[in-house]
Structure 1
Amino acid sequence: MTGTDGSSGSTAPAASAAGRSIAVTDLSLVVLIGATGSGKSTFAARHFKPTEVISSDYCRGLVSDDENDQSATADAFDVLHYIAGKRLAAGRRTVVDATSVQPEARRQLVKLAREHDVLPIAIVLDVPERVCADRNAARPERAALPRHVIQRHQRELRRSLRGLEREGFRKVHILRGTEEIDAARVVTEPRYNDLRHLTGPFDIVGDIHGCSVELEALLARLGYDDGRHPEGRTAVFVGDLVDRGPDSPGVLRRVMSMVEAGTALCVPGNHENKLGRHLKGRQVQLTHGLAETVEQFAAEDERDPDFRRRVAAFIEGLVSHYVLDGGRLVVCHAGLPEKYHGRTSGRVRSHALYGDTTGETDEFGLPVRYPWAEDYRGRAAVVYGHTPVPAASWINNTICLDTGAVFGGRLTALRWPERELVDVPAERVWYEPVRPLLNEAPGGREGRPLDLGDVAGRRIVETSRMGRLAVREENAAAALEVMSRFAVDPRLLCHLPPTMAPCATSAEEGFLEHPAEAFAYYRDAGVREVVCEEKHMGSRAVALVCRDEKAATERFGTAAGVTGTLHTRTGRPFFDDAAVTEQVLARLRSAAETAGLWEELDTDWLLLDGELLPWSLKASGLLRTQYAAVGAAAGAAFPPALAALESAAGRGADVGGLLARQRERAADAQAFTDAYRRYCWTTDGLAGVEFAPFQILAARGRSLAAELPQDRQLALLDRLAAGDGSGLLRTTRRLRVDTADEASVAAGTTWWLDLTAAGGEGMVVKPLATGLREPGGALVQPGLKCRGREYLRIIYGPEYTRPDHLVRLRQRALGHKRSLALREYALGLEALDRLAGGEPLWRVHEPVFAVLALESEPVDPRL
């Protein structure tokens, strides 16, 4: 392992080549070098995947239809370099099968590797001229190849062998003769910075700068005992262990012992890099605290003469950055944009050690750091140090842990994956900073909260439950219009509820929907226990309730006086008056306090999904223009029409059939009016308003929608409603059903019939457990709505129950609606997972925005 991220740069001696393993990094540009006929294509086919190999002959054929057309060579190599560049950009190992005996050809390939920050590796096949000539003669397409071409290749190869490392190849493997080539084995080795298999948990420690007392105090607070954690946690140090502070040797001794014992990882800081050069005898200026470290080392020499050598070896072996926890975490010293994660080059190492600057200096003469974190959109959390800040805070998906311990600030650690900050105060100011700590900006920046590029155009959203989900460009445009003009504060828009599919169409006489189909669906999907929940006829509302204003400000960055939000399923504020919203939140907050939910769930905020009643509270315009208009028209038309028909019948006219039909129509129209009037009543302010929560979506650090089963959810919400003394909260009635038990299914059906006969809208049938999958692997519908016979009059019209209409309506197609429901459900849970995980706002908004965009897909609105 070396200080250049583990690339040895050594040429393997020929004497030890027989049967040896050829180590090739998993992400690298492998260049096969050898004269024509040396066996490069055969070697590549034997040791690499076909998709990894790019042949110059093949590219020549692509552009000219003739692999031997030398006039097409320039274009062929343009194609080769282009394909290789695309593969390297995508993080794919690439093998170039060309002679590459000329320095200029190799120079272009080394340049390509550097552009994509991967290791260039040379594998040389040194075969005698006679063997090359015989092989070419055996190939019809090369039988006429002049002998002098092979001789020229051999001469160029001989001149190149000693200079390959100087050209930039980080590893050079030379195989001499056919026997060595045939016996060689190519072994894929991971990059030294690729530790994705280590999942932690981790305790990531910020810049220490020789503050050994503070380090020991922090480790003790984190639970370490003599460098080991009883729960097997691993410490990760972000560098700058030395300089400025009182005891750099003590810090090094502790960190080195932990790394050697396997209880810690460490990346280098710029101060270790400079100390390492000094220990090698290089000329460096003893500034920025290095003079103090050199003095401390001099005192250390008497106690431990071998200490300098061990420190030099330790620094030499440090890797610029680590990719950990399945790629979800990147640790480095000065921060690292996503394009450099897992890459290996001098440019990557330089950025990891020193960061990037704008080329300007501030009023203190110090370089102005480029604010890369403000533009960061990577999936991995980047934890770093280097630039001291007053307090650690997340910027997009990055956090700086250098809180200026040596300057009298604090020594800070981040617990991962908990995302919990732990710190200890400095004993004193050990070193006066050039720039006052309070003037440091990065920790106080929130970064740009959202960007048009995050949502515009066709989008692909990665979800943990359904993989990659696509959002069409036209749907994204419609969602952007709604969200940018009408939605609540984006910092508070954490979730949009998914649509819900109805149960399969019923063949039961007089019914379009019936519980039998819902129970059958879950039984066939292998779901035995379901919960039937009363469906409240109101308007869907999501409530974000913070325990107090301080919690809202610290977690969501809200303005003064804001403690949460209440929004519709499209993200709009439910009430135009913010004061009314705060009144609702105050009642919810008080109920949660009385119920003890804050303490039980260990949270200072709750995200609730529910229905706000009455329906007329939000749908008054729809009621007036659509439903009431139909009822009014029927009320005006049918009485005189019936009176005229009855009068005609009294005079002996044969209108009995027509009169009966009109009476049925009048009764249907009255039933329609009665149906929607059940869900309308007068409110005054919050008087008469009810909120029926049916799910706790998330709390601090927890995605409860994916964690708690339905019965546990509803039990907590019963307690919430019981704790409400204002009359706002309404409970949700429910019944558990065993889908494999006929008696239980019958009881569920009876419950639904009684509920709808009493004026209820219907019910939602949900699996008791969450996140279930069918035997084939597909997600099970998270819920199926089964609406009452009379309620469906509002949806399908007054006369929908007539046999001829039911026959037509039973042809409704549910496939698209069900697909939409599953996709929105997966996106909704993804947003909650990211919210609970403390991910940046743009990451939470990505699936939230996608839900809104999917709502623009054309689907029958009656479903």
Structure 2
Amino acid sequence: MSRRNTKLSHISIPELSLVLLIGPSGAGKSTFAHRFFKPTEIISSDVCRGLISDDENNQTVSADAFELVRFIAAKRLKLGLLTVIDATNVQPESRREWVRLAREYHVLPVAIVLNMPEQVCQERNTLRSDRNFGTHVIPQQISQLKRGLRDLREEGFRQIFEMRSPEDVAMLETITRSPLYNNKKDEHGPFDIIGDVHGCYDELCNLLEVLGYQVDRENTSLISAPMTTNAEGYTRFRKPVFVGDLVDRGPKSPQVLRLVMNMVNNGLALCVPGNHDAKLLRYLNGKNVQLRHGLEQTVAQLTSETPEFLESVKSFIDGLISHYVLDDGKLVVAHAGLKESMQGRGSGAVREFCLYGETTGETDEFGLPVRYNWALEYKGRAMVVYGHTPVPTAQWLNNTIDIDTGCVFGASLTALRYPERALVSVPALEQYAVPARPIGYSADSVLSVQQQYDSVLNIEDFTGKQILQTRYSNNITIREENNIAALEVMSRFTINPKWLIYLPPTMSPAETSQAQGFLEHPAEGLQYYKEAGLEKVICEEKHMGSRAVVIVCRDEEVAERRFGVTGEGNGVIYTRTGRSFFTDKQTEQDFIARINTALISTGFYETFDTDWVCLDAELMPWSAKAQALLQTQYAAVGTAAGKALPAVVTALQQAISNGAPAQALLEKYTKRLEQTTHYVKAYRQYCWSVNSLDDYKLAPFHIMATEGKTWFDKDHEWHMSAIKNICAGDEQILLATPYLLVETGNAESEQAAINWWKELTAAGGEGMVIKPYTFLSKGDKGLIQPAIKIRGAEYLRIIYGPEYDAAENLERLRNRKLTGKRSLALREFALGLEGLERFVNKDPLQLVHQCVFGILALESEPVDPRL
């Protein structure tokens, strides 16, 4: 906009821009800024002088003050926030620094000039007692301003607004923020993002039809688009998004252009430009370009087209936006990809990167530019979908995916379905061109580029204080000292980290029971969920074993392809701290083979459309994993007490028979002997001899994830039913968990649960776990506890000691605090689910491991381990 337009009631500026207020002292810049911008958007040089010297007029600190202004502005622009510089900015050299900063962060510089008369500025300054500079300053600033006004556009300002009087300023009513052309965050899809077409019209039509679109091939137009219903129940038409390079090398570039132009112009599709499209535009505009790399075919094909069509092609390509930011910023589409710092920005450098990527300036042995692999270092939140560089199959790397699968070179044309993340391809009908260099990468295995890159993780991602975002809870903070402990566990004790996609959370007990003789009771657990607003819960038997995560692949090829693990069999069983459950690898693989056979025989892989599964389970007996703990802690106590207390009781009985007043002591130690006997009996029930695989029992209770799917949307009854089907495949080692559905608030239903718990514990069982009926339940304060354990009196004797149920001990233990344990359980639960979601979505391993490390780190928090 021209600076000559002074009489304005409304102006519009880009939503992301660096706004320079330009004018002499007294022009009213600060008043103007606070009238039209938020206080946080304004960075004032005067305020910064005050911050560092307690005097806003201290000109001796101007250099330091402007250093602070630039620092704050840079931080805001990095975050994509509009920023206003409130300073005189009348000298070209001062403005030059701001234009340089805007270009550094790929935002648009905007100039708002308050070119007020000298008299107005002088009168305003006389009213400010804090302004004591000489009368020569304002005329000098006005002179500098006027000399530079005509050069503002050459300095780099694309929007310039000038106001020459207080009346001009008063006339201005609003300043609106215009979204950048690349901002389509309000479009949520679903999308079908299509790779480089390169004139392969027939293959494009084939792909669209496979995707569910109807195409009028003869008239190069779209007849209809498929519809998809999202998770919220909204049904929307799907929209194709083309990543560019519509033309060159292939046989029918004009037809591809016609079809895509029709779709885009009718609002049925989106398209970003590719470097081949940009080169065609330069040719059509009469520029001197070399007819090579397929452009010669396109030019030949366009010779029979009308001038009107050629003009429409020029207008179409010229109007294409460098990239699009879609779906609330979760998706970015650009021809050659885009770094996080450039997404949603507008500059020549951004457009250049979108068209060509990042090059070294060198050429390879094939005469082609050597490119930096920007995706290797990408850590952005948005998924970036791009093409430009042909690959044998679509390649995921760090939440980016290259979908140019070389159709024109005889391979295939590929689309990525979003948000499903499903890939759909059709084969090329023939090879239309020979690539200048071989397509793809060399690899000695089936490992993907992502898996090869994940072989070495960046330690900086796992040290220091971490703040982890999860989709099911609030941000979770991991303290630095806890992260260090997790790093040691991960590096020294865990299984191959590539298997570690999930760690289960700890579990909190119910509120302490006040019932006589009980520390825990089902009534408190049922009351917790009732108060949380849940009408139905599920009670599951708590097994007498150790928590185990089981990952089973159909075969070793699946383990290599999906997990990047070679030579370690087709599965793994590990503890809730990531350690191998079995010290003998052969025993582990024999166990995995039994589970795999059960999965195959029950049709699990076909039913779930997968070739791997992650199960949350309990592995028994407890002694199989905790043998050392039993020997050094529990058995030692039982043996010592078993030897000493009978002798004490005998001695006291003898003393009483001799007339000593020792009856009270005899009763006390007789009670202790009885408690010790119960203690030994309690832990022995968790131990049995293991001589073969048939002596183990695995009780799965959650199907956590399969290929492309997590199962958090299914209720626990569904999980129990699906797992029962699996267990039918090998009932010798697989155990279906007994459960009971309970209606909270229904006295009869609740009493049935209490009676069942009493029966379980009376028979020597550990107790039961109460869970919400739905896997994920939220209340007014966020996530509700995913499970609450209710342990029996005799099991608690193992945990708290033989004499815990003495009246004085129970009273003391009832003061135990659950807040820390419950907070820990919720945070670990959210992190566990987040890690699985990331793995299923094929996120980089370091993102999955942020969650795994987070859980291991949280285990270092000081929480009573007996809870």
Q: Give the TM-score normalised by structure 2.
A: 0.94
Q: Aligned partners of 1:317 and 1:40: how far apart in 2?
A: 36
Q: For the Cα contact (< 8 Å) 1:395–1:447, is it kept in 2?
A: no
**Partner AA of 1:685 in structure 2:** S
Q: Is 2:509 the partner of 1:502?
A: yes
Q: Is 2:485 the partner of 1:478?
A: yes
Q: Match for residue 225 of structure 2?
A: 229
**Partner AA of 2:850 in structure 1:** E
Q: For the Cα contact (< 8 Å) 2:525–2:788, is it kept in 1?
A: yes
The counterpart of 2:415, out of the listed 413, 416, 430, is 413
Q: Match for residue 718 of structure 2?
A: 712
Q: For the Cα contact (< 8 Å) 1:374–1:446, is it kept in 2?
A: no
**Partner AA of 2:118 in structure 1:** E
The counterpart of 1:816, out of the listed 820, 823, 829, is 820
**Partner AA of 2:398 in structure 1:** N
The alpha-carbon deviation at position 359 of structure 1 amounts to 4.3
How many pairs are equivalent? 845
Q: Aligned partners of 1:550 and 1:201: how far apart in 2?
A: 33
**Partner AA of 2:27 in structure 1:** S
- SS of residue in 2 equivalent to 1:180: helix
User: Could you tell me the percent identity over the aligned residues?
Assistant: 53
Q: Match for residue 862 of structure 1?
A: 866
Q: Match for residue 83 of structure 1?
A: 72
The counterpart of 1:244, out of the listed 246, 249, 264, is 249
Q: For the Cα contact (< 8 Å) 1:323–1:331, is it kept in 2?
A: yes
What is the CA deviation profile of residues 30-58 of structure 1, one whole-angstrom value per residue up to 9, with x for unaligned ones? Answer: 11112222221111111110000011111
Q: Aligned partners of 1:340 and 1:431: how far apart in 2?
A: 33
Structure 1 window deviating more from structure 2 (172-181 vs 498-507): it is 172-181
Q: Is 2:448 the partner of 1:446?
A: no
Alignment of 1:156-171 (within 5 A): 156-171=144-159
Distance 1:443 1:117, change over 3 A: farther
Distance 1:166 1:677, change over 3 A: same
Q: Match for residue 721 of structure 1?
A: 727
The alpha-carbon deviation at position 178 of structure 1 amounts to 2.6
Q: Match for residue 5 of structure 2?
A: 14
- SS of residue in 1 equivalent to 2:502: coil
The alpha-carbon deviation at position 172 of structure 1 amounts to 1.9
The counterpart of 1:134, out of the listed 116, 123, 128, is 123
The counterpart of 1:853, out of the listed 834, 852, 857, is 857
Q: Aligned partners of 2:775 and 2:702: how far apart in 1?
A: 12
The alpha-carbon deviation at position 781 of structure 1 amounts to 0.9
Q: Aligned partners of 1:12 and 1:786: how far apart in 2?
A: 75
The alpha-carbon deviation at position 557 of structure 1 amounts to 2.4
- SS of residue in 2 equivalent to 1:683: coil
Q: Match for residue 710 of structure 2?
A: 703
Q: Aligned partners of 1:548 and 1:201: how far apart in 2?
A: 34
Distance 1:316 1:162, change over 3 A: farther
Q: Aligned partners of 1:454 and 1:58: how far apart in 2?
A: 37
Q: For the Cα contact (< 8 Å) 1:14–1:176, is it kept in 2?
A: no
**Once superposed, what is the RMSD of the aligned Cα atoms?**
1.9
The alpha-carbon deviation at position 603 of structure 1 amounts to 2.2
Q: Aligned partners of 1:12 and 1:204: how far apart in 2?
A: 41
The counterpart of 1:109, out of the listed 81, 85, 98, is 98
What is the CA deviation profile of residues 330-370 of structure 1, one whole-angstrom value per residue up to 9, with x for unaligned ones? Answer: 11111222222222222222222111134443332323221
Q: Match for residue 619 of structure 2?
A: 612
- SS of residue in 1 equivalent to 2:610: coil
Q: Match for residue 136 of structure 2?
A: 148
The counterpart of 1:196, out of the listed 185, 204, 209, is 185
The counterpart of 1:830, out of the listed 815, 834, 852, is 834
Q: Is 2:243 the partner of 1:270?
A: no
Q: Is 2:766 the partner of 1:766?
A: no
Q: For the Cα contact (< 8 Å) 2:113–2:161, is it kept in 1?
A: yes
**Partner AA of 1:109 in structure 2:** W
Q: For the Cα contact (< 8 Å) 2:451–2:564, is it kept in 1?
A: no
Q: For the Cα contact (< 8 Å) 1:30–1:120, is it kept in 2?
A: yes
Q: Is 2:630 the partner of 1:642?
A: no
The alpha-carbon deviation at position 470 of structure 1 amounts to 0.5
**Partner AA of 2:733 in structure 1:** L
Q: For the Cα contact (< 8 Å) 1:544–1:606, is it kept in 2?
A: yes
Q: Match for residue 388 of structure 1?
A: 390
Q: For the Cα contact (< 8 Å) 1:373–1:447, is it kept in 2?
A: no
What is the CA deviation profile of residues 727-766 of structure 1, one whole-angstrom value per residue up to 9, with x for unaligned ones? Answer: 1111111112222122222221111111100000011111
- SS of residue in 2 equivalent to 1:160: helix
Distance 1:81 1:176, change over 3 A: same
Q: Match for residue 168 of structure 2?
A: 180
Q: Is 2:640 the partner of 1:633?
A: yes
Structure 2: stretches of 5+ with no match in the other structure = 216-221, 228-236
The alpha-carbon deviation at position 820 of structure 1 amounts to 0.5
Q: For the Cα contact (< 8 Å) 1:528–1:738, is it kept in 2?
A: yes
Q: For the Cα contact (< 8 Å) 1:400–1:443, is it kept in 2?
A: no
Q: Aligned partners of 2:554 and 2:125: how far apart in 1?
A: 80
Q: Match for residue 7 of structure 1?
A: none
Q: For the Cα contact (< 8 Å) 2:338–2:357, is it kept in 1?
A: yes
Q: Is 2:775 the partner of 1:779?
A: no
Distance 1:445 1:616, change over 3 A: closer
The counterpart of 1:73, out of the listed 57, 62, 65, is 62
Q: Match for residue 672 of structure 1?
A: 679
Distance 1:439 1:448, change over 3 A: closer
Structure 1: stretches of 5+ with no match in the other structure = 1-9
The alpha-carbon deviation at position 681 of structure 1 amounts to 0.1
Q: Match for residue 559 of structure 1?
A: 566
Q: For the Cα contact (< 8 Å) 1:29–1:95, is it kept in 2?
A: yes
Q: Match for residue 798 of structure 1?
A: 802
Q: Match for residue 320 of structure 1?
A: 322
Q: Aligned partners of 2:835 and 2:461: how far apart in 1?
A: 15
Distance 1:444 1:518, change over 3 A: closer
Q: Match for residue 85 of structure 2?
A: 96
Q: Match for residue 609 of structure 2?
A: 602
The alpha-carbon deviation at position 147 of structure 1 amounts to 4.2
Q: For the Cα contact (< 8 Å) 2:106–2:349, is it kept in 1?
A: yes
Q: Match for residue 6 of structure 1?
A: none
**Partner AA of 1:771 in structure 2:** L
The alpha-carbon deviation at position 429 of structure 1 amounts to 1.8
Q: For the Cα contact (< 8 Å) 2:771–2:786, is it kept in 1?
A: yes
- SS of residue in 1 equivalent to 2:709: coil
What is the CA deviation profile of residues 192-230 of structure 1, one whole-angstrom value per residue up to 9, with x for unaligned ones? Answer: 222222111111111111111211111111111133412
The alpha-carbon deviation at position 173 of structure 1 amounts to 2.3
Q: Give the TM-score normalised by structure 1.
A: 0.95
Distance 1:588 1:417, change over 3 A: same
Structure 1 window deviating more from structure 2 (748-757 vs 445-454): it is 445-454
What is the CA deviation profile of residues 787-809 of structure 1, one whole-angstrom value per residue up to 9, with x for unaligned ones? Answer: 00000010000000001111111
Q: Aligned partners of 1:520 and 1:548: how far apart in 2?
A: 46
Distance 1:72 1:346, change over 3 A: same
The counterpart of 2:195, out of the listed 201, 206, 217, is 206
The counterpart of 1:840, out of the listed 838, 841, 844, is 844
- SS of residue in 1 equivalent to 2:783: coil
Q: Aligned partners of 1:588 and 1:380: how far apart in 2?
A: 38
The alpha-carbon deviation at position 822 of structure 1 amounts to 0.9
Q: Aligned partners of 2:163 and 2:287: how far apart in 1?
A: 36
**Partner AA of 1:664 in structure 2:** K
Q: Match for residue 3 of structure 1?
A: none
What is the CA deviation profile of residues 540-577 of structure 1, one whole-angstrom value per residue up to 9, with x for unaligned ones? Answer: 10111223333333322232563222111011111123
Distance 1:351 1:612, change over 3 A: same
Q: Aligned partners of 1:170 and 1:685: how far apart in 2?
A: 78
What is the CA deviation profile of residues 803-841 of structure 1, one whole-angstrom value per residue up to 9, with x for unaligned ones? Answer: 111111111111111111111111112112222323222
